[in-house]
Structure 1
Amino acid sequence: MKKILFSLTLLLSSFAFAQNQPLIIGMELAYPPFEMSDENGKPTGISVDMAYALGEFIGRDVIIEDMAYGGLIPALKTKKIDAVISSMSITEERKLSVNFSKPYAKSYLAMLVNNKSGITKSSDLNAKGKKVAVKKGTSGHTVAEKYFPNAEILVFDKESAIILEVSQGKVDAFIYDPLTIYKNWSKNSEATTPLLEQFETESQPWAVAYRKGEDDLGAQIDDFIDEYKANGGFNKLADKYLGEERAFFKEKNVPFFFD
């Protein structure tokens, strides 16, 4: 009996210790308005607000760790962070390494093409001599290899470098989500064109990634997503950060992240 009581006490103490520890959330602060920094270098955006709301829901302080997108899952696996909230889509490959919460948003992939590329529809990109730029570690990277095997795929770490390549005509197209495509087209409309058609068969669900074996945290995250959605939290974030873009998507009959 003493052994059982000791084991139970140790288990409860471990749980209480974990609850008192800050929740370290990893994200790359380079995808406005979801993940970004304000003029003072402070994390802000939809994912940041969501992360702090999650911490409040489960009773833990939140620390935001900014890191390169490709390093998020390795950091999660090596326990440098506790979860990833970084507009990360669920893929079969990622599911081999980490667990995912319920989806909280969804997106799909679109293209930004150079006006002189001759590309008017997505299938035009799947040809020898065509060059497609993708950001390392993103769904666009994986999907490009599947849908455009005949094109040359160029992998970049920074979105800004890709946009420069497309606008200068050094690559024919950039594959990313439609919000990013829309924003970069609006800044480079003389040299580029957005192709918002959905060339994939399915949308890309976004979710919170957490370590395998940490089912208690996963259940808490799922409960948070359910309650936050029911209380209109995601719609409030969209109104706060994406009012103009949401109206544009509706006008063009393009699916929106939280629809």
Structure 2
Amino acid sequence: MRRLLALFLCCLLAACGKKDNSLRVGMELTYPPFEMKDAQGNPDGVGVKLAEALAKDLGRPLKIVPMEFSGLIPALKSGNVDVVISSMTASDERRQSIDFSEPYAFTGLSILLGKDSKAQSIDDLKGDGVRIAVKAGTTGESWVAANLPKAKVTGFADEPACVMEVAQGRADAFIYDQLSIYRYHKENPDTTRALLNAFVQENWAVGIPKGKDELKGQVNVFIEKFRKDGGFGKLADQYLQDEKKTLEEMGVPFILR
């Protein structure tokens, strides 16, 4: 009996000491159709499918770690997640604290305006007292702070709040990425207008901790292979058919290519 008990305790200790090999992917699940929840509350979207494919390629179980966008980089730096896949722009500012993979999407900053706005470009928003809504922690916020010093800027935790400011006339513009501006205009066609041609080009990449060069190399190999195999095209057809058609009709290169 004692031998059986000792054997059980040894097995239990071995199991407890076994390292979890899950690929922990940080993302904010409030950004459809890239990172979101389906009707059953499960993670879904382009970024989620990308994370699933990456984990499969690496031979590791996937663990989605949802959190607010502003917490993603701190979680990566502290080791609470292994990578970030959350439509994150690979900016020079962020590169100071984390590394990025090769780009997996190509986008840019665009503008959501009030329906009656006369603005035709970003230059029309450079006057005194122009009211700009931005999402906190985004490159839109950083760009506005650096380039629109005369603007009255208000930051919000989520995009719908920014859109509401414009739709209800409390802000003159919302600066955000191209596809989001397209989507929010479609949801509010009677109160907003969109300038979809990006005035700043950006790209999205997988966030990786500094010093994890082996993991970075593995992610880059995966992205190249996934693109070559048509993976991004399939995701575009699954989640972004209308957006792809609209941008192509405008002569704007599509984000996933």
Structure 1 position 70 matched with structure 2 position 57: no
Q: Distance in 2 between matches of 1:239 and 1:116?
A: 33
Q: Give ranges in structure 2 of 5+ residues lacking alignment.
A: 1-16
Q: Distance in 2 between matches of 1:182 and 1:225?
A: 26
Q: Distance in 2 between matches of 1:79 and 1:62?
A: 16
How far 1:18 sits from its partner (Å)?
A: 10
The answer to whether the Cα contact below 8 Å between 2:107 and 2:198 also exists between their aligned partners in 1 is no
The answer to whether the Cα contact below 8 Å between 2:100 and 2:205 also exists between their aligned partners in 1 is yes
Q: How does 1:138-177 map to 2 (within 5 A)?
A: 138-177=138-177
232, 242, 245: which is aligned to 1:244? 242
User: Which secondary structure state, in structure 1, belongs to the residue aligned with residue 32 of structure 2?
Assistant: coil
How far 1:197 sits from its partner (Å)?
A: 2.7
Q: What is residue 42 of structure 2 aligned with on the other side?
A: 42
For 1:242, the aligned partner's letter is: L
Q: Deviations over 1:7-63 (max 9, x none)?
A: xxxxxxxxxx99961010000011111000001110000000000100000100010
How far 1:140 sits from its partner (Å)?
A: 0.7
Q: Distance in 1 between matches of 2:18 and 2:126?
A: 50
Specify whether residues 223 and 20 from structure 1 end up closer, same or farther in structure 2 by C-alpha distance, changes over 3 A only.
farther
Q: What is residue 137 of structure 1 aligned with on the other side?
A: 137
The alignment yields a C-alpha RMSD, in angstroms, of 1.5
Specify whether residues 239 and 18 from structure 1 end up closer, same or farther in structure 2 by C-alpha distance, changes over 3 A only.
farther
The answer to whether the Cα contact below 8 Å between 2:106 and 2:204 also exists between their aligned partners in 1 is yes
Q: What is residue 197 of structure 1 aligned with on the other side?
A: 197
User: Which secondary structure state, in structure 2, belongs to the residue aligned with residue 165 of structure 1?
Assistant: helix
Specify whether residues 116 and 240 from structure 1 end up closer, same or farther in structure 2 by C-alpha distance, changes over 3 A only.
same
Q: What is residue 104 of structure 1 aligned with on the other side?
A: 104
Q: Distance in 2 between matches of 1:257 and 1:85?
A: 15
Specify whether residues 57 and 165 from structure 1 end up closer, same or farther in structure 2 by C-alpha distance, changes over 3 A only.
same
The answer to whether the Cα contact below 8 Å between 2:89 and 2:203 also exists between their aligned partners in 1 is yes
Q: What is residue 210 of structure 2 aligned with on the other side?
A: 212
For 1:161, the aligned partner's letter is: A
Q: How many residues align?
A: 241
The answer to whether the Cα contact below 8 Å between 1:131 and 1:152 also exists between their aligned partners in 2 is yes
Q: What is residue 10 of structure 1 aligned with on the other side?
A: none
Specify whether residues 124 and 106 from structure 1 end up closer, same or farther in structure 2 by C-alpha distance, changes over 3 A only.
same
TM-score, length-normalised on structure 2?
A: 0.90
Q: How does 1:223-242 map to 2 (within 5 A)?
A: 223-242=221-240
Q: What is residue 9 of structure 2 aligned with on the other side?
A: none
Q: Distance in 1 between matches of 2:196 and 2:208?
A: 31
For 1:208, the aligned partner's letter is: V
Q: Give ranges in structure 1 of 5+ residues lacking alignment.
A: 1-16
Q: Deviations over 1:78-122 (max 9, x none)?
A: 111110000111111101110111111110110000124432321
Q: Percent identity at matched positions?
A: 43
Structure 1 position 31 matched with structure 2 position 31: yes
